[in-house]
Amino acid sequence: MSGGRWDEPRRQRRQAVERARLAKLVRASVALVVATLLFDAIGRRLSDDPSASEASEASAATTIPTPVTLVPLASTRGVAPVITRVETTDPVVFLTIDDGHTRDPGVAAALEEAGVPASLFLLDGPVEADPDFFRRLPDTVVESHSRTHPDLRTLSEQGQRAEICGNADTLEQAFGRRPVLFRPPYGAYNEATTRAAAACGMAAVVLWETSVNGAVVGFRSLPQLRPGDILLMHFRPTFVTELRALADRVDEAGLRFALLEDYLVPDSVADSAG
């Protein structure tokens, strides 16, 4: 796993991840201090002039900075939005890994050495067979991928709900955190899927912009990596080799890996499976 050209990009990626996390903590701390000072000032002003209450509240609502960079998910009540990427100017892409059937012991070391966080979209079978494998993976969050990997379009809405909610129950029991993102098997979905996902507590149906299959990198729209792209990989025997190639490609594009949950869902960050 080490030596040569791989080591330096790996070190740089890990440093970039740590810098991003530190920056987020700093932003949150600064926001807290600013908010505290602001409310203290408002309190002093109100004590001197109670009639200023409404104006002061409006001012506070518009001037308190957001503590972290998040992308709100536009949604309709009862329907989970479908996304393939995140609209952000940050130079980041998001790794997602599906299924879990192949559990190569080298995966944990590869992710850790490369400094790559990832969202894992897992099925019931692999989790029930070997939950400890996924718990050992560093800097990862487990999300939903259905119980048995069917083409959901062939199922009724009730059947889809059973697949999604049942998988969420399995993952919550195994990892102590209920998933909030759902990836339909094969990327196949219909309107019933978006309703079923919402009913099961999913904030979004997550597809992808870029997929990795051996030496082949496929693109949904533009044939290049862009900030905010969601990347798809699978747990398979060639995972470590594929990750190296993908990490090099991300480096060459001037991007770095970030955790999808950090950018989409404020309250679901990093209850890590590892």
Q: How far apart are CA 258 and CA 24, in angstroms?
A: 12
Pairing relationship of beta strands 216-219 and 210-213 according to DSSP bridges: antiparallel
Angle, CA of 256, 237 and 189, to the nearest 5° = 70
Residue 183 · residue 144 · CB < 8 Å: yes
Give the Cβ contact number of residue 267 at 10 Å: 8
pLDDT digits (tens, 9 = 90+) for 98-140: 999 999 999 999 999 999 999 999 999 999 999 999 999 999 9
Residue 182 pLDDT greater than 60, yes or no: yes
Residue 64 · residue 31 · CB < 8 Å: yes
For residue 17, give both structure tokens: 């991840």
Among 205, 207, 211, CA closest to 225: 211
Distance set, CA 94 to CA 41, 250, 264 (Å): 40, 10, 11
Residue 254 pLDDT greater than 50, yes or no: yes
pLDDT at 38: 45
pLDDT at 222: 87
Residue 148 · residue 123 · CB < 8 Å: yes
Is pTM beyond 0.85 here? no
